[in-house]
Amino acid sequence: MTDKRYSHISITPNFYQLGTPSFPAYLSLGDDGMIIEGGTGATFAIIINQLKELGIEPERIKYLFLTHTHADHIGAIPRLRRIWPHLKVVASPVGEKLLTRLDSYTFGVDMVVKEGDRLDLGSGVSWTVYDTPGHSPCHISLHNEREGTLVIGDATGLYVPGKDSFWPNYFSSLEAYCDSIRKLASLPAQRGALCHYGVIEGGVKRYFQKALSATESYHREMMVRLDRGEDPEEIALEKARWVNTLTDIQTFEVMLSLSRVLIKRSQSAVVREGLFTIP
């Protein structure tokens, strides 16, 4: 029976939000279908039910596109591969390397894509791939120019729409993270699909500028406090407590360890002029 608490959401006539609000996946439909996001273990059954609800035959789903390979974005892959052997898992070259380390059979990548590659689903539905590292080294995004839809993924960090707040997530590099946001901001878009908490409708450029401003504030605060001689562990603890008031999608321990990572990335960053500004 379909889980009515988590019905699909129609974003456009051929783009749907699946999964849960905290951990969404997306379905793009041309002649072929593409699921975007590898889901969590727990969202697997929900996604399957939502596809049934939409009347989509599994054979029609050709691709499973991974924005990146963090644990909360790949959990449904092993079971999806088992029930749908025809599915092609798509990831960046770095993503492929990271997943192969896990288990090459259950997490295997069937198609590696790089910036500029296109995924054509037929009937005019086509996506262009963009490299958007910084959140993770393997992060990639998608742009459907015709519809003005951007799949931002986690490239802008964790944005909580209800609180209009960002937790900037430059876990692999502050500079790459900002460059990726600037790159995405240069693409024409009506909406941006996030890998937590759904879709931004309208005002996408303003959203990117807000993401950069939040990143600048977070980074500068880290640096000022470290320069004052504050204990990095105390700063990390305080940040984790603050993140805990924004969201419950990770445990406190995970938020704390990620807060420590952000302090390290801020310390090693080389901030050049204009890094936090969209031209």
Binding site for Fe ion (CB under 5 A): 70, 154
Amino acid at 233: E
Q: Is the CB of 70 or the CB of 191 nearer to Fe ion?
A: 70
Can you tell me the distance from the alpha carbon of 102 to that of 89, in angstroms, rounded to the nearest whole number?
A: 15
Using the structure block, give the residue that is written with the tokens 């727990």: 42
Closest CA to 63 of 112, 21, 115: 112
Closest distance to Fe ion from the beta carbon of 68 (Å): 6
> Which two structure tokens, joined as six digits, stand for 266?
């801020």
Q: Is 110 exposed, middle or buried (0-12, 13-18, 19+ CB in 10 A)?
A: middle
- Residue number of the CB closest to Fe ion reads 70
Can you tell me the distance from the alpha carbon of 2 to that of 55, in angstroms, rounded to the nearest whole number?
A: 12
> Which two structure tokens, joined as six digits, stand for 267?
């310390």
Closest distance to Fe ion from the beta carbon of 39 (Å): 13
Q: Is the CB of 11 or the CB of 74 nearer to Fe ion?
A: 74
Closest distance to Fe ion from the beta carbon of 26 (Å): 15
Q: Is the CB of 70 or the CB of 182 nearer to Fe ion?
A: 70
Closest distance to Fe ion from the beta carbon of 195 (Å): 7
Q: Is the CB of 158 or the CB of 236 nearer to Fe ion?
A: 158
Q: Is the CB of 49 or the CB of 141 nearer to Fe ion?
A: 141
Closest distance to Fe ion from the beta carbon of 154 (Å): 4
Closest CA to 144 of 192, 107, 180: 192
Q: What is the DSSP letter of 84?
A: -
